[in-house]
Structure 1
Amino acid sequence: MLKLMRSPLKYVQGQGALSEVYEETKDLGTSFLFICSNSGYKNCHEKIEKSFEEKGAKVKFEIFGGVSSIGEIERMQKIVRENQIDCVAAVGGGSAIDTAKATAHYEKLPVVIIPTVVATDAPCTGLSVIYNNDGSFSHYIFYPKNPDAVIVDSDIIAHAPVKFLVAGMGDALGTYFEARACEKAKAPSLENGGITKSAMALCRLCYETLLEDGYKALKACENQIVTPALEAIIEANTYLSGVGADNGGLAVSHSVYNGFTALEECEATMHGCVVAFGTLAQLVLEDAPAAEFNQVLEFCVSVGLPVTLKEIGVTDKERVRIAAKNACAEGESIHNMIGDVTPEQLYDALIAADVLGQEYLDKRK
């Protein structure tokens, strides 16, 4: 298997980045469609429009339906063709991002990502999650390239609800441990290639950044201020995690998330929160050193990530068996683990992680 490395062509981050959207994208065309979430349009469109003033480029803003569905993507494709759009951009969270990526891909256009939250590493990845028009899961799209540009305005992230930053740290937490498992098993990355030393270095830096700056960034976001720690975590949640996962691969953490999505009681639990708990379960399966497990546990508690099943919405152990079975379905990334993992083994690991997490919380009382 050949080793490979992919990433966005350009990554821009900092305070006031929205004012530079034109300068950072002017080589991509003269007609832009910005696919926006409701909050993305409200918080960003004036600054983006101002950056394009008197530049001779045409901009169109469209608020999408809220889900990256087949029908919504087709609607955006029609807008692209009717308005002779040169470049598609996303302004919002994961669903807006996935919609813009798919629209650009099908229309063979460049795509720019402007995240308004950093709850997942979707901005930098070369894939989308696509849903049917009724909201049910349809399929993944794996693209031949990553986004042409990712532009993150730190002021926008600082003023977004704190829960999104925390969830993003949970998503990022799995990056190093899942990539490490894939490297050991010689499993392929999400890009279906071998894992480079560069990818592992990014994944490791992602974890180290979370430990160093996670709590400080949380406090900055709670007070809607931008500090070096918040800038570091924005980068970890977005770039280090996104490029790391793309090129490092997935294992138990994300399969656990996929498994728990089958439970109604977890519908309101954010992606990154379940991934964080899945990381604890992966460490149990690996029989990781106590010092490493405790370090991850302490980090989760310090920033408000769940360490028990109850915190992700589950109180019935029999429901955990259902999630464990789904997490081990054919094609799931959990099978990248050395020796593979059965539903029974995963169930035991989830219960063990829950017990250890509850014990830690009880000691803190």
Structure 2
Amino acid sequence: MAKIIGSPSRYVQGKGEMKNLCGHAANFGKKLFVLTSVSGRKRVEPAIAEGQGDAQIVYEVFNGECCKTEINRVMEACKGAGCDVIVGIGGGKIHDTAKAAAHYLGLPVVIVPTIASTDAPCSALSVIYTDDGVFEEYLFLPASPNMVLVDTDVVSKAPERLLIAGMGDALATYFEARACQRSDAANCVGGKITMAAMALARLCYDTLLTDGINAMLAVKENICTKAVENIIEANTYLSGIGFESGGLAGAHAIHNGLTAIEETHELYHGEKVAFGTLVQLVLEHAPEDELDEVIDFCLETGLPVTLEDLGIKEVKPEQIMEVAQLAAAENDTLGNMPFEVTPEDVYAAIMGADALGRYYKGI
């Protein structure tokens, strides 16, 4: 099997870049179908209008879930409007819906994050949920987005919890890629892992440790420092390329299992992935210094390290076993670990991670 690395055709990041969206998108189409939320439109429309020029724009409100029902609705709305390029502006579920709809319609897609809470923007992947928000499947796409545009002025003004959630998602990148490399598993683009992908995954982790706390503190003050710029790039590009071309393993499978517990629906994707990373490290029997580093980072940023942090106030063994069984399902990514993993192993690792988290928190 060949080594393959995937990435967007172009990645643009900088302060004030939202006003240049139409100019960049002109390379792909003249009539933009912009999928965003009501609040998202209010945040970005004035800047987009400033540089609109001759471009036509049709705005469509996202209904809140990346599910087959919403993807089909967006496709029909886009066709009805006669648009020739789809632009997803907002968070991960908007991005994944825009990517899926563009794929089925055979149209180019431009992704514009207004938050840095996930690594979804750069990937050739849509995570599909049921209408009720339970993980259903991964939709692997034939190509990454045509362009990803990040206005760091916009992203840095989002609530700090979103940037922290993005760091939680990015935290898994190196460890999952490392597991896939050890097992010689295929990555998300259907090939083996390149040296470049592993280097980006490691750089992602190192950037979190170097700049994560400074970026969090800056965003709390609504300012965009060099640390914030670096973390936005880590959360969006380094993690996006790193997870997709490096591969997924335990952390995201644990996240997917956790979606079966209703209480966790209040948390962001990256917050659950952070706990999934800790579970994966317990599964791997990771060295103590590595566990120390990861748990300390989570505690300093406020990422979850216990089941209670995930909103699970009463731990029910049968419920945790359901999470473990879903995580270990044949169609998920725990099979990419470099050893056999059973639902019983996952159950023990979840409970072990929770115990570790409580120990470090002194509870």
Shared fold per TM-score greater than 0.5: yes
Match of 2:302 among 296, 301, 304: 304
Question: Distance in 1 between the 2:234 and 2:22 partners?
Answer: 25
Partner of 1:176: 174
Partner of 1:98: 96
Q: CA deviation at 1:200?
A: 0.2
Asked if residue 316 in structure 1 is aligned to residue 315 in structure 2, the reply is yes
Residues 54-94 of structure 1: CA distance to partner in whole angstroms, max 9, x if unpaired? x3221111112222233333333233333321211011112
Residues 69-124 of structure 1: CA distance to partner in whole angstroms, max 9, x if unpaired? 33333333233333321211011112211221122112211100011111111111
Partner of 1:39: 39
Give the direction of change, closer, same or farther, for the CA distance of 1:338–1:135 in structure 2 (3 Å limit): closer
Counterpart of 1:195, as a letter, is I
Q: CA deviation at 1:149?
A: 0.6
Asked if 1 retains the 8 angstrom alpha-carbon contact of 2:307 and 2:315, the reply is no
The SS at the match of 2:41 is helix
Partner of 2:138: 140
Partner of 1:23: 23
Partner of 2:13: 13
Partner of 1:286: 284
Percent pairwise identity: 47
Partner of 2:234: 236
Q: CA deviation at 1:153?
A: 0.9
Give the direction of change, closer, same or farther, for the CA distance of 1:75–1:323 in structure 2 (3 Å limit): closer
Counterpart of 1:169, as a letter, is M
Partner of 1:359: 359
Give the direction of change, closer, same or farther, for the CA distance of 1:283–1:68 in structure 2 (3 Å limit): closer
Unaligned stretches of 5+ in structure 1?
A: none
Asked if 1 retains the 8 angstrom alpha-carbon contact of 2:122 and 2:241, the reply is yes
User: Where does 1:53-64 land on structure 2 (aligned, <5 Å)?
Assistant: 55-64=53-62
Asked if residue 213 in structure 1 is aligned to residue 248 in structure 2, the reply is no
The SS at the match of 1:97 is helix
RMSD value over aligned CA atoms? 1.6
The SS at the match of 1:360 is helix
Question: Distance in 2 between the 1:68 and 1:266 partners?
Answer: 17
User: Which range moved further: 225-234 or 64-73?
Assistant: 64-73
Asked if 1 retains the 8 angstrom alpha-carbon contact of 2:70 and 2:97, the reply is yes
Partner of 1:84: 82
Give the direction of change, closer, same or farther, for the CA distance of 1:200–1:164 in structure 2 (3 Å limit): same
Question: Distance in 1 between the 2:176 and 2:266 partners?
Answer: 24
Q: CA deviation at 1:131?
A: 4.0
Asked if 1 retains the 8 angstrom alpha-carbon contact of 2:135 and 2:259, the reply is no
Match of 2:268 among 270, 277, 287: 270
Asked if 2 retains the 8 angstrom alpha-carbon contact of 1:4 and 1:194, the reply is yes
Q: CA deviation at 1:340?
A: 1.5
The SS at the match of 2:127 is strand
Asked if 2 retains the 8 angstrom alpha-carbon contact of 1:174 and 1:253, the reply is yes
Q: CA deviation at 1:296?
A: 0.7
User: Which range moved further: 28-37 or 316-325?
Assistant: 316-325
Question: Distance in 2 between the 1:135 and 1:7 partners?
Answer: 28
Residues 240-275 of structure 1: CA distance to partner in whole angstroms, max 9, x if unpaired? 111111101111101111111111222212211111
Asked if 2 retains the 8 angstrom alpha-carbon contact of 1:39 and 1:92, the reply is no
Asked if 2 retains the 8 angstrom alpha-carbon contact of 1:158 and 1:225, the reply is yes
Q: CA deviation at 1:317?
A: 4.7
Give the direction of change, closer, same or farther, for the CA distance of 1:69–1:282 in structure 2 (3 Å limit): closer
Question: Distance in 2 between the 1:73 and 1:354 partners?
Answer: 36
Question: Distance in 1 between the 2:120 and 2:206 partners?
Answer: 20
Question: Distance in 2 between the 1:281 and 1:69 partners?
Answer: 27
Question: Distance in 1 between the 2:80 and 2:308 partners?
Answer: 50
Q: CA deviation at 1:362?
A: 1.4
Give the direction of change, closer, same or farther, for the CA distance of 1:193–1:161 in structure 2 (3 Å limit): same
Asked if 2 retains the 8 angstrom alpha-carbon contact of 1:49 and 1:59, the reply is no
TM-score (norm 1): 0.95
Question: Distance in 2 between the 1:113 and 1:173 partners?
Answer: 22
Partner of 1:75: 73
TM-score (norm 2): 0.95
The SS at the match of 1:91 is strand
The SS at the match of 2:51 is helix
